[in-house]
Chains A and B, each alone.
Chain A
Amino acid sequence: MIRVLQRLALALALPFVLFAAWWALSADSDSFYAPPLSQILTAFGDTWTFERLGADVLPSLLRLFAGFLLAAVLGVAAGVAIGMNRRLRAVAEPVLEFFRAIPPPVLVPVIMLFAGIGDTMKVIVIVFGCVWPILLNTVEGVRAVDAVVLETARSYGITGPARITHVILPSAGPQIAAGLRQALSIAIILMVISEMFAASNGLGFTIVQFQRGFAIPEMWSGIILLGLIGFVLSLLFRLAERRALRWYEGLRAAQRSS
C-alpha cells in the first residue's frame, strides 16, 4: 500500500509542480501570447462544449480511425505478401524506401488535386502517410520469422491461409505493432495538417481559426486538447498492444530472468 502511494506521489509530483509553476508565473501575466492559466482553463471549459466536441473533434477522430485502420489492413496485407516473396521484395524495397522517406505532409497538396478537399482527401492523406511504416515493419517481421518454425509448420501440414494466420502473423506481431505505433503518431499529425490546409470543421481547422482570430486563450486550450488526445491515443494503443502481445511480453520476461 505504502509502495503504491509512494509511486503515485513520484508520478504526480513533477506534473503538479509544473502545473503550479505555470499557474503562479502566469497568474498576473499581461503578455498577450501567454495569458494566465486560469484564463486558458476557463476558455477550455467554454470552448470545448459537447456541441463543439461533436462538431469538430468527432469528425477529426473518425477520419483518423478510418485512415489508420485502412492503412493497417493495407500495410499488413501487402507487407505479408512482399515479405514472403524474395523476388517481389527485391523489386519493391527501393521504391518503398523512397515513399517512406517522403515527408507525409507534402502529400496533402498532391492528394488535394485528386480528391478535392472533402473527407475523402483527409482519409487518403492519412492512409498514404501511415501505410509505409506499417508495411516496411511487416516485411521485416515476416522476413525474420524463425526458419525452424516455418519448416515445422510445413511438416505438420499447416499451409495456405492457416500458415499465415497461425504462424507468420503471430511471429511478426511485435514488429507489426512497432510499425502501427509509429503510424499512429503520423496519423495524428496528418489529421491536424490536412485540416489546417483546407477544411470546414475539425480540430486542426478550429485551432488555426483561433490563432488567426487572435483568440489566444482558446488557441492554448486547443493545443492542450490536442496534446491530451495524443496522450490518450498512445495510452490506448499501449493497452491494446499489451493485450494482443501478452505472450511476447511473457516470453521476454522469461528470457530476461533466465
Chain B
Amino acid sequence: MTTARRDGPVRFGHPALLGVAGPAGLLLVMELAPRLGLIDDRFLPPASRVLAALATEAGTAAFWTALGDTMLAWALGLAIAAGAGVLAGVVIGSVPVLRALTASTVEFLRPIPSVALIPLAVLLYGTDLGSTLMLVCYAAFWQVLVQVLYGVADVDPVAFETARSFRFSAWARIRYVLWPTALPYVFTGVRLAASVALVLAITAELVIGSPGLGREIAVAQASDAVPTMYALIVVTGVLGVLINLLARTGERRLLAWHQSVRGEVTV
C-alpha cells in the first residue's frame, strides 16, 4: 500500500489516538447538541444523561435478566442454526443429485425476509422464548448453510479421489478430506450468522414482546423514558461489537493451523 505517500507524511496523530478521537467526538456532539438547544433534549438527551441512565439500569436486576434472556435466545438459536446448517450443508453438498435438486429451493427460501414469520411465530409460541428462537434459527440457518455448501464445493477433487482409492470409508472421507476444507467456510458462516442472530433476537423481542433487551427498549419507549431507551440501544450496539470481535478473534485462533489463515505455502 502506498497510503503514506498518497496522504503525505504523517504529521500528527497516532492511529490509536485518532481511533479514540472518533468516539470521543461523537460523545461530545451528543452532549453539546441538546445542551445548546440544537436538538430538542426530549428527543436526544445529552450523552451524560444517557450514561447516567445506563448506570442506573446496570444496577437493576431486570436489566441483567433481560440481557441474559437475549443472550440465551442468541446462543441457543445460533447453536441450533449452526448445527442444522452444517449437517444439511455437508449432506446436500456431498451428494451432487441432492445439490441440484435443492438449489432452486434454497435460492427461493433464502431471501424470504425472516420478519415475514413474525405473525406465525406469535400464533405458534405467543410471547415466549420460542418465537424469538424460531426467527433467529430461520435467519441464521441460511447463512451457515450457504457457506457450508460453498465450502464443500471447494474440496479438491484430486484429494477426494485419492482418499477414495485408498478406500477411505464415506465417514473418513468426510472427516479427513471434506471437513478440513470446509472448515474456514463454516467459520465464516457462523460469524455471519452470529451477527444476524443478534439482530433477529432483539428485533423479535422488540416487535413481539418476548422477554429480553428488545422488549425493555419497547417498554422504555412506551413509558417515555428516553435516556433509558438510548442507554439500552447503546448496550445492543456494544453487544454487536463484542460478538463481532469475539467471532473474528475466535476464528483466527481456532483456524491458526489452517492454510487459509497461515498463508499459502510456496511449493
Chain B residue at minimal CB-CB distance from A192: B115
The answer on a CB contact under 8 Å between A231 and B22 is: no
The answer on a CB contact under 8 Å between B115 and A211 is: no
Return chain B residues, CB-CB under 8 Å to A107: 233
Return chain A residues, CB-CB under 8 Å to B3: 86
The answer on a CB contact under 8 Å between B115 and A94 is: no
Residue A101 at the chain B interface, CB threshold 8 Å: yes
From residue B133, how far is it (CB to closest CB) to chain A in Å?
16
Chain B residue at minimal CB-CB distance from A101: B240
Number of A residues near B (Cβ < 8 Å) is 62
The answer on a CB contact under 8 Å between A105 and B199 is: yes
Which residues in chain A, 61-107, are within 8 Å of chain B measured between CB atoms? 84-87, 90-95, 97-107
The answer on a CB contact under 8 Å between A102 and B6 is: no
Return chain B residues, CB-CB under 8 Å to A150: 2, 6
Residue A226 at the chain B interface, CB threshold 8 Å: yes
Residue B229 at the chain A interface, CB threshold 8 Å: yes
Return chain A residues, CB-CB under 8 Å to B101: 10, 13-14
- Pick the contact of A95: B22, B42, B206 (CB < 8 A): B22
User: In whole angstroms, how far apart are the Cα atoms of A97 and B117 in the complex?
Assistant: 29
From residue B115, how far is it (CB to closest CB) to chain A in Å?
5
Return chain B residues, CB-CB under 8 Å to A189: 113-115, 203
Return chain B residues, CB-CB under 8 Å to A95: 22-23, 26
The answer on a CB contact under 8 Å between A147 and B2 is: yes
Which residues in chain B, 204-231, are within 8 Å of chain A measured between CB atoms? 206-207, 214, 217-218, 221, 226, 229-230
Chain B CB count within 10 A is highest, among A14, A33, A92, A234, for A14
The answer on a CB contact under 8 Å between B119 and A11 is: no
Chain A residue at minimal CB-CB distance from B123: A33
Return chain B residues, CB-CB under 8 Å to A197: 207
The answer on a CB contact under 8 Å between A219 and B119 is: yes
From residue A202, how far is it (CB to closest CB) to chain B in Å?
13
The answer on a CB contact under 8 Å between A234 and B111 is: yes
The answer on a CB contact under 8 Å between B198 and A15 is: no
From residue B6, how far is it (CB to closest CB) to chain A in Å?
7
User: In whole angstroms, how far apart are the Cα atoms of A43 and B175 in the complex?
Assistant: 49
User: In whole angstroms, how far apart are the Cα atoms of A106 and B120 in the complex?
Assistant: 21
The answer on a CB contact under 8 Å between A98 and B120 is: no
The answer on a CB contact under 8 Å between B237 and A102 is: yes
Chain B residue at minimal CB-CB distance from A129: B199
Residue B103 at the chain A interface, CB threshold 8 Å: yes
- Pick the contact of A211: B102, B113, B119, B217 (CB < 8 A): B119
The answer on a CB contact under 8 Å between B105 and A102 is: no
Interface residues on B, range: 35 or more
Return chain A residues, CB-CB under 8 Å to B243: 101
User: In whole angstroms, how far apart are the Cα atoms of A100 and B25 in the complex?
Assistant: 18
The answer on a CB contact under 8 Å between A94 and B19 is: yes
- Pick the contact of B15: A84, A90, A151, A233 (CB < 8 A): A90
User: In whole angstroms, how far apart are the Cα atoms of A95 and B24 in the complex?
Assistant: 9
From residue A14, how far is it (CB to closest CB) to chain B in Å?
5
Return chain B residues, CB-CB under 8 Å to A12: 104
Interface code B107-151, partner A: CB below 8 Å = 1, 0 otherwise? 011111111111110111000000000000000000000000000
Return chain A residues, CB-CB under 8 Å to B188: none
Interface code B152-181, partner A: CB below 8 Å = 1, 0 otherwise? 000000000000000000000000000000
Residue A227 at the chain B interface, CB threshold 8 Å: yes
Return chain A residues, CB-CB under 8 Å to B111: 185, 230-231, 233-234
Residue B87 at the chain A interface, CB threshold 8 Å: no
Chain A residue at minimal CB-CB distance from B105: A14
Residue A193 at the chain B interface, CB threshold 8 Å: yes
Residue B73 at the chain A interface, CB threshold 8 Å: no
Residue A59 at the chain B interface, CB threshold 8 Å: no
Residue B64 at the chain A interface, CB threshold 8 Å: no
Q: Provided the pairs A90-B18, A91-B19 are in contact, do residues A227 and B237 lie with their beta carbons within 8 angstroms?
A: no
Residue B202 at the chain A interface, CB threshold 8 Å: yes
Return chain A residues, CB-CB under 8 Å to B232: 106
Interface code B47-81, partner A: CB below 8 Å = 1, 0 otherwise? 00000000000000000000000000000000000
Given contacts A106-B236, A197-B207, A211-B122, 19 further A-B contacts (CB under 8 A): A11-B103, A12-B104, A13-B101, A84-B6, A91-B18, A95-B22, A101-B195, A101-B238, A105-B203, A106-B206, A110-B233, A192-B116, A196-B207, A210-B119, A211-B119, A227-B113, A230-B113, A231-B108, A233-B111
Interface residues of B (CB under 8 A from A): 1-3, 6-7, 13, 15, 18-23, 25-26, 42-43, 100-105, 108-120, 122-124, 195, 198-199, 202-203, 206-207, 214, 217-218, 221, 226, 229-230, 232-233, 236-241, 243-244
Could you list 5 A-B pairs, sorted by A, with CB under 8 Å?
A14-B105, A101-B195, A105-B199, A114-B43, A189-B115
The 9 A-B residue pairs with the shortest CB-CB distance, nearest first, are A101-B240, A211-B119, A90-B18, A109-B221, A227-B112, A226-B116, A234-B111, A102-B237, A11-B104
